[in-house]
Structure formats: structure tokens, C-alpha cells
Amino acid sequence: MTIEVGSQAPDFQLKDNHGRTVRLSEFRGEKNVVLVFYPFAFTGVCTGELCALRDELPRFENEGTQLLAVSNDSIHTLRVFAEQEGLEYPLLSDFWPHGETSRAYGVFDEDKGCAVRGTFVIDNAGVVRWSVVNGLPDARDLNDYVKALEAL
């Protein structure tokens, strides 16, 4: 079951593509968070979505907002992917325990072994204020994220 709008966002601790530990709770009281789950690095739709975020990065990563992208890839895969695509925001690895954070948000596809396309806008108090969940083949519209952030 997907986390509902108005719920406290589950805290997590994941390694980023540089091996640094990132905790959602680090941003509480400081920044809103756009949390983007995607299936796998190096796949067509995922690459398109993450590069679109890269191209509009100042809208999603600034003094009031932090962008975090999560997949079930290893940190090593994410490092190469980020370098190849010029992604300068944190790519977090939900590799082991496999899919634990994706499951906590209700976006893990047990049959495929990966996260579906779930996005959560979390305010600086740690409350989910907006979300969208799409199936594996369906890209999201990042303009919807912008509208959700503007409403905070």
C-alpha cells in the first residue's frame, strides 16, 4: 500500500552514488524533499526522467528543496550512471536489504524486483504532501512536481 498524502514519510538511511549515507530525517526542519523512485539505471524511460530532472535541477534542488532519486541498483552502478548522464543530485541505492525503502513507501514491485515510478513531495516537517505512482513503462510529468512544491 502506497504511503498516503498527509502521512509522516518513513525515514530511511541509504548510501548515495558516492558511498555517503543519506537519511531523510537530515532534511527535517530544513528542506522539502522531492523523493523519486525509479526502476533501474540505464533504462530508457528512467534515463529520460532523470535527465529531465537534471535539466531543471534548480527547480528541485535549492535552498528550500532537496531532490533524492532512489533505485534498487548498487551504488557502483549508480556512480557510473550519474557520471555518464551528468547527474549531480544524489542517486540513492535501495539495493540491500533489497527494496526495503521502496517497500516502506509501497512502490516495490515484488514480481519485477524493483521500484515502480513513485514520487513523493515531503514537506520540511516530514509529511507527505503530494504523490504520484506510475507503472514501470509510464513516465511522470515533472511539471506536476513543480506545482506540488509551489503549493507548500
Burial class (CB in 10 A: 0-12, 13-18, 19+), 110: exposed
Residue in 28, 53, 43, 36 with CA at minimum distance from that of residue 92: 36
Annotated catalytic, 46?
Answer: yes
Q: Kindly name the residue from 36, 46, 107, 115 that is annotated as catalytic.
A: 46
* 3-state secondary structure (DSSP) of residue 115: strand
Label each residue of 28-77 as H, E or C: CCCCEEEEEECCCCCCHHHHHHHHHHHHCHHHHCECCEEEEEEECCCHHH
Which are the catalytic amino acids? 46
